[in-house]
């Protein structure tokens, strides 16, 4: 189920309703392995709902979602093992040090006991957190808390990394660092991220998918050289 021809994500005809309100309607989306895809749209567009469906926190009313070839509803355990999820505001235990928190999360992610220390060291190196492992969680800046959040999502070496608004609340320097970090992570992981920072999308993602009012309004490749992304986005409204 993990061949290079299998999409990292396949969404077919997905609809999700909250009572009489359609949060998503008939969404079709493929994400290739190794891509960085950004979900873009205003508040209430359906970005968070789609992420919650992919991570198994919600069930669709119609349609099918697959991660690495595994059906999120029919094969939830296999699909979940392929996903690393970093929410916008991850809960962290304030009484723990960074290394303790990551070791705790590794055990929750069912990393074998004899590999927990190795997994913590690996993600700390990836996220440039090695010198922060003994730091108490409450002492971290917003930027470093975001790094720890992403680190915990990588402990079990998932194929797909889902980042919910990874640059939200960061200062300009931290936003630049996060951009380079995401590009680096994409060398080993497929990345699906959500964002409302239009200027960062073209500098970070390979492709942008626009959701508005629960519908997929458009998608296109992007690059740092794009000069018309803002006009294109506004034309979809």
pLDDT at 150 over 70: yes
Average pLDDT rounded to a whole number, residues 92-112: 93
What is the pTM for the complete model shown? 0.93
Three-class SS state of 64: strand
> What number of helices (H) and strands (E) belong to the chain?
8, 10
CB contact set of 163 (below 8 Å; sequence gap of 6+): 86, 150, 182, 191, 192, 193, 194
Query: In this predicted structure, what is the pLDDT of residue 198?
Result: 84
Per residue in 192-205, pLDDT tens?
999 888 888 999 99
Query: In this predicted structure, what is the pLDDT of residue 43?
Result: 86
Q: What percent of the chain has pLDDT over 70?
A: 98
**pLDDT tier, 57 (very low <50, low <70, confident <90, very high otherwise):** very high
Give the C-alpha distances (Å, rounded to integers) separating 119 from 23, 84, 157, 166: 37, 14, 9, 22
Query: In this predicted structure, what is the pLDDT of residue 227?
Result: 87
Range in 138-142, 174-178, 197-201 the model is least confident about: 197-201
**pLDDT tier, 184 (very low <50, low <70, confident <90, very high otherwise):** very high
pLDDT at 13 over 90: yes
pLDDT at 91 over 80: no
Average pLDDT rounded to a whole number, residues 132-153: 94
Which residues are registered as beta bridge partners of 163? Answer: 86, 193
Q: Are 11 and 26 in contact (CB under 8 A)?
A: no
The H or E element spanning position 199 is helix 198-204
Average pLDDT rounded to a whole number, residues 101-128: 96
Average pLDDT rounded to a whole number, residues 150-160: 97
Query: In this predicted structure, what is the pLDDT of residue 169?
Result: 85
- Tell which residue, 50, 63, 45, has the closest CA to residue 217: 45
* Separation between Cα atoms, residue 181 and residue 174, nearest integer Å: 10
Determine the length of the chain: 237
Q: Map out the domains of the chain as residue ranges.
A: 86-157
pLDDT at 108 over 60: yes
> Is the backbone of residue 26 left (phi > 0), alpha (psi -120 to 50) or beta?
left
Task: Please provide the average confidence, as pLDDT, over all residues in the chain.
Answer: 94
Range in 58-67, 83-92, 146-155, 211-220 the model is least confident about: 83-92
pLDDT at 3 over 80: no
* Separation between Cα atoms, residue 47 and residue 24, nearest integer Å: 9
Range in 61-75, 119-133, 197-211 the model is least confident about: 197-211
């Amino acid at each position: 189920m993990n061949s290079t021809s299998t999409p990292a994500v396949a969404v077919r005809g997905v609809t999700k309703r909250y009572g009489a309100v359609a949060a998503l309607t008939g969404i079709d989306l493929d994400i290739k392995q190794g891509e960085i895809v950004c979900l873009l749209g205003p508040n209430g567009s359906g970005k968070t709902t789609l992420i919650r469906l992919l991570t198994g926190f919600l069930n669709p009313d119609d349609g099918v979602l697959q991660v690495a070839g595994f059906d999120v509803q029919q094969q939830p355990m296999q699909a979940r093992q392929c996903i690393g999820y970093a929410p916008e505001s991850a809960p962290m235990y304030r009484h723990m040090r960074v290394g303790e928190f990551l070791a705790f999360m590794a055990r929750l992610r069912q990393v074998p006991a004899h590999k927990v220390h190795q997994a913590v060291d690996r993600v700390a190196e990836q996220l440039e957190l090695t010198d922060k492992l003994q730091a108490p969680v409450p002492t971290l800046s917003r930027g470093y808390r975001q790094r720890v959040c992403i680190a915990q999502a990588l402990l079990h070496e998932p194929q797909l990394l889902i980042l919910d608004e990874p640059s939200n609340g960061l200062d300009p320097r931290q936003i630049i660092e996060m951009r380079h970090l995401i590009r680096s992570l994409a060398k080993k992981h497929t990345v699906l991220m959500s964002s409302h920072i239009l200027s960062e999308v073209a500098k970070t993602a390979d492709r942008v998918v626009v959701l508005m009012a629960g519908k997929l309004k458009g998608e296109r490749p992007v690059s740092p050289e794009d000069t018309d992304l803002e006009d294109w986005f506004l034309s979809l409204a």
